[in-house]
A and B are shown apart, each in its own frame.
Chain A
Amino acid sequence: MSRIQLENVTKKFGSVTALKNVSLDIKDKEFFVLFGPAGAGKTTILNCIAGIQLPEEGVVKFDGEIVNLVDAAHRDTAMVFENYALYPQMTVYDNMASPLRSKLYKKDEDYIKTKIQEVAAMMKMENLLERLPSQLSNGQKQRVAMGRALVRSPRVYLMDEPLAHLDAKLRNAMRTELKEIQANFGTTSIYVTHDFMEAMSLGDRIAIINEGEVIQIGTGDEIYYMPCNEFVAQLMGDPEINLISGTLAKSEDGYTFTMEGAQKTYELPKEKELFAKLGELGLSKVDIGMRPQNLLYSFEPKEGYIKCSVYSYESIGNKSVIVAETSGLQLRMIAPNGLSVKIDQDIYVDMQLDHAMFFDAGTKGYLTRYNEAAVRAIAAEQEG
């Protein structure tokens, strides 16, 4: 059992406030991700939990017990760092054995051997045990660093960007591997990352951190489909979500949305709950959020499509992104690889508005979206 709680934690470095009133409640055995841009305060949160840093205000609790005054060595956490921190003179086996040979967590050599073999098998590194760190690739080093944490059964695993050092391909492959062994952890894990794919893939729940504050907490689906503001919407997803400013107006039996710049008016698809919510809010200026996969394009003129020109066409791996431009507005959409698209050629774009999210044009906060009830139901089930 290890439930980890932070209550109103504030951490200052001199005159800089690194964490402002951070509260988190991480459940036992949960894989919890702290996600946000560089400098957001994610690592500081981890350090406060580890006991490496002491908050000025607020409390850190392990299973309901305040641990602020328990020093790092006695909190029984296991950390994995971005820069591996392996002992260069020790073999992989001895590196992995080191925490179990420490005074505090001492185990006998038979136990150590069994445990290392078990973890090495899980992480597919049985053949590396006799090597020195200098004989390992970066991916293998990170595997050892993680394995060294996993041989222990601490109250919580703390992982600080363990994959950030690796190049894109290896990072993706390792993320999938981590996903596969994650179920075997059986221990509360807190994982820091600035990569939204890692956050989405690995996290039972994700906390979005920005400028020392918790912005939103939820499952990946919840945050992806119902981001609490435009900032979060832009963080989740690559290519970035399209945010289109415009004006809402009541029509005969519903609402119209007039896009700024392009001066195109759309009749919003009918949905009772959405229209009720829009009526309640009574706003006229909104930003509509459209994920790139919900935009349609055609190279021939088509009824209802807006005329744009191609700003760029770029591969993002197994698919490509077209950026289309119309009167200063750039629209991103997904297309297959290998199309023969010329820069500045005409392209016609339509939006599947029944996937739209609505944000307040002033505060940039989330208002509502299509199918909100369904998204809430999925999130509730996931949080179980």
Chain B
Amino acid sequence: MAGLRIEHLYKRYENDGKKKNAVKNDYAVKDLNLVADQGEFIALLGPSGCGKTTTLRMTAGLEDITKGEIYIGDTLVNNLHPKDRHIGLAFEDYAMYPPLTVYDNIAFNLKAKGVDKAEIDKRVREIAPLMQCDDLLDKMPVKLSGGQKQRVNIARAIIRRPELLLMDEPLSHLDGKARQAMRTEIKRLINDIKCTTIYVTHDQLEAMSLADKIAIINFGVLQQYGTPAEVYDDPVNEFVASFIGEPPMNIIETTIIGEGDHFLFTFANSNLKIAVPERYNNVVSNGFKCKMGVRPMDVLIGGADSKGTPEEVATFENLGDERRIGIHVGSSLLMLITDDETRYKAGDIIKLEVRGEKTHLFDIETGNRIRA
């Protein structure tokens, strides 16, 4: 098994005049650098069209590389045939051979390679319980549910003992609970086989729950590469901050004012004032304009003796497991999540307390984090 190293990777699709936006955004992938250590689970995360699948396909050898290098282990694979890259592939579509049983589908690649029968049988019987498809081996693909098909699909990818496992949205065909259950299975499987894995998804929850590290990509450019905790707690820009987390981080334009020896966030058409963390004292000044970001979990409802700002409840949603409250701050809706059992209604007044130390500052123009 091996790690993956991507250096200064570019991809440009030739403009055939058909794609409307081909000129505007001519690189599908732009100067991408990424290192996955051996055994790491990496998620490539971003909105559709961001270049994450293109990156995966270049790694697999299904797409030409415009510029840059891809190494699997220490081997430069740019010019290697896909079959010589020692990779396993599992895509959103299952692409199974319908006339073959599950057993033969899983065994197919080994048979094609001429591995002897006894060895194939041993490996199929080894993999099948891992993917919980031991009792499916004699079935035909049409008889399988979506979840079962995806299990067989993954079994087929890992039976070759690849150095690198590449998965492209393997769960997006499944719905609700099947999807959640399969997500957990994938996580446990990778934990067992310890294979370096690159996993493409547009679903931040999948990335957050599966990956050791997440590469967040937008318009072909890597925005941030870090552990789930890093991208959640320490986003590099507004895009990452609002892409990770549900409901997303509240991000509102603010004018900072100085009051005595400290600073406050203030907002147009709102009485709300939030203390700016002291560590920013050297980067902000009276009248400084930027955006303030704060996660819904870091906005609290104060008790009766709270010094928080009284604010009117605009929306109250009782979701059973939790309650969400929206407050108008100028033209934005500031969301908070609470376990508080009180059933509020629109128009009620609550004392709003914001954990000032948990706020982030973003540049209005570039969206980049302003750091202390």
A residues sitting closer than 8 Å to B (CB atoms) are: 167-169, 172-173, 175-176, 179-180, 183, 196-197, 200-201, 220-221, 224, 236-238, 240, 291-293, 311-320, 323, 337-338, 343, 378, 382
Q: List 7 A-B contacts (CB under 8 A).
A: A172-B246, A176-B324, A176-B333, A314-B183, A314-B208, A318-B337, A320-B209
**In the complex the two chains form, is B187's CB within 8 Å of A169's CB?**
no
**In the complex the two chains form, is B187's CB within 8 Å of A200's CB?**
no
Interchain CB contact (< 8 A) of B232 among A220, A313, A316, A337: A337
**In the complex the two chains form, is B319's CB within 8 Å of A201's CB?**
yes
**In the complex the two chains form, is B315's CB within 8 Å of A220's CB?**
no
**In the complex the two chains form, is A173's CB within 8 Å of B247's CB?**
yes
Q: A169-B248, A221-B318 given as contacts; is B229 within 8 A of A343 (CB)? A: no
**List of A residues within 8 angstroms of B296 by Cβ:** 318
Interchain CB contact (< 8 A) of B321 among A168, A183, A293, A343: A293
Q: Does B154 contact A (CB under 8 A)?
A: no
**List of B residues within 8 angstroms of A378 by Cβ:** 343
**In the complex the two chains form, is A200's CB within 8 Å of B233's CB?**
no
Q: A315-B208, A317-B245, A337-B232 given as contacts; is B320 within 8 A of A343 (CB)? A: no
Give the shortest distance, in Å, between B179 (CB) and chain A (any CB): 11
**Considering the chains assembled together, what is the distance between the CA atoms of A188 and B205 in angstroms?**
36
**Considering the chains assembled together, what is the distance between the CA atoms of A143 and B334 in angstroms?**
21
Q: Does B191 contact A (CB under 8 A)?
A: yes
8 cross-chain pairs, A with B, having the tightest CB-CB distances, nearest first: A314-B209, A338-B229, A317-B246, A315-B208, A201-B317, A224-B320, A312-B184, A315-B209
**List of A residues within 8 angstroms of B228 by Cβ:** 315, 337-338
Give the shortest distance, in Å, between B20 (CB) and chain A (any CB): 12
**In the complex the two chains form, is A318's CB within 8 Å of B314's CB?**
no
**List of B residues within 8 angstroms of A312 by Cβ:** 184, 187-188
Given contacts A168-B205, A337-B228, list 11 more A-B pairs with CB under 8 A: A176-B317, A180-B326, A180-B346, A200-B319, A201-B319, A221-B343, A314-B208, A315-B209, A318-B296, A323-B184, A382-B343
Q: Does B305 contact A (CB under 8 A)?
A: no
**In the complex the two chains form, is B205's CB within 8 Å of A311's CB?**
no
**List of A residues within 8 angstroms of B335 by Cβ:** 176
**List of A residues within 8 angstroms of B326 by Cβ:** 176, 180
For window 335-358 of chain B, which residues contact chain A by CB distance below 8 Å?
335, 337, 339, 343, 346
**In the complex the two chains form, is B320's CB within 8 Å of A220's CB?**
yes
**List of B residues within 8 angstroms of A240 by Cβ:** 177
**In the complex the two chains form, is A343's CB within 8 Å of B191's CB?**
yes
**Considering the chains assembled together, what is the distance between the CA atoms of A56 and B79 in angstroms?**
67
The chain A residue sitting closest to B249, CB to CB, is A318
Q: Count of B residues near A, CB < 8 Å? A: 39
**List of A residues within 8 angstroms of B232 by Cβ:** 337-338
**In the complex the two chains form, is B295's CB within 8 Å of A318's CB?**
yes
The chain A residue sitting closest to B48, CB to CB, is A167
For window 200-248 of chain B, which residues contact chain A by CB distance below 8 Å?
202-203, 205, 208-210, 228-229, 232-233, 245-248
Give the shortest distance, in Å, between B190 (CB) and chain A (any CB): 10
**Considering the chains assembled together, what is the distance between the CA atoms of A378 and B320 in angstroms?**
14
Q: Which of A176, A293, A319 counts the most chain B CB atoms within 10 A?
A: A176
**Considering the chains assembled together, what is the distance between the CA atoms of A382 and B229 in angstroms?**
40
Q: Does B297 contact A (CB under 8 A)?
A: yes
The chain B residue sitting closest to A344, CB to CB, is B191
**Considering the chains assembled together, what is the distance between the CA atoms of A183 and B315 in angstroms?**
10
**Considering the chains assembled together, what is the distance between the CA atoms of A183 and B344 in angstroms?**
14
**In the complex the two chains form, is B205's CB within 8 Å of A316's CB?**
yes
Interchain CB contact (< 8 A) of A318 among B177, B246, B346: B246
**List of B residues within 8 angstroms of A311 by Cβ:** 184, 188
The chain A residue sitting closest to B243, CB to CB, is A169
Give the shortest distance, in Å, between B201 (CB) and chain A (any CB): 12
**List of A residues within 8 angstroms of B188 by Cβ:** 311-312, 343
Query: 1/0 contact trace for B161-202 toward A, CB 8 Å?
Result: 000000000000000010000011001100100000000001
Interchain CB contact (< 8 A) of A293 among B208, B247, B339: B339
Give the shortest distance, in Å, between A132 (CB) and chain B (any CB): 16
Interchain CB contact (< 8 A) of A176 among B208, B229, B315, B320: B315
The chain A residue sitting closest to B325, CB to CB, is A176
Q: A311-B184, A318-B337 given as contacts; is B346 within 8 A of A337 (CB)? A: no
Q: Which of A240, A312, A319 counts the most chain B CB atoms within 10 A?
A: A312
**List of B residues within 8 angstroms of A220 by Cβ:** 318, 320
Q: A291-B321, A337-B228, A337-B229 given as contacts; is B346 within 8 A of A183 (CB)? A: yes
**Considering the chains assembled together, what is the distance between the CA atoms of A176 and B328 in angstroms?**
13
**Considering the chains assembled together, what is the distance between the CA atoms of A237 and B318 in angstroms?**
12
Q: A180-B314, A293-B339 given as contacts; is B184 within 8 A of A314 (CB)? A: yes
**Considering the chains assembled together, what is the distance between the CA atoms of A146 and B295 in angstroms?**
30
Query: 1/0 contact trace for B289-332 toward A, CB 8 Å?
Result: 00000011100000000000000001111111100101000000
Give the shortest distance, in Å, between A243 (CB) and chain B (any CB): 14
Q: A180-B314, A315-B208, A343-B188 given as contacts; is B346 within 8 A of A196 (CB)? A: no
Give the shortest distance, in Å, between A218 (CB) and chain B (any CB): 12
Query: 1/0 contact trace for B79-103 toward A, CB 8 Å?
Result: 0000000000000000000000000
**List of B residues within 8 angstroms of A323 by Cβ:** 184
**List of A residues within 8 angstroms of B321 by Cβ:** 237-238, 291-293
**List of A residues within 8 angstroms of B208 by Cβ:** 314-315, 337
**In the complex the two chains form, is A169's CB within 8 Å of B315's CB?**
no
**List of A residues within 8 angstroms of B317 by Cβ:** 175-176, 179, 197, 200-201
**In the complex the two chains form, is B319's CB within 8 Å of A317's CB?**
no
**List of B residues within 8 angstroms of A180 by Cβ:** 314-315, 326, 333, 346
The chain A residue sitting closest to B337, CB to CB, is A318
The chain A residue sitting closest to B191, CB to CB, is A343
**Considering the chains assembled together, what is the distance between the CA atoms of A319 and B232 in angstroms?**
11
**List of A residues within 8 angstroms of B184 by Cβ:** 311-312, 314, 323
The chain B residue sitting closest to A313, CB to CB, is B209
Give the shortest distance, in Å, between A206 (CB) and chain B (any CB): 11
**List of A residues within 8 angstroms of B246 by Cβ:** 168-169, 172, 317-318
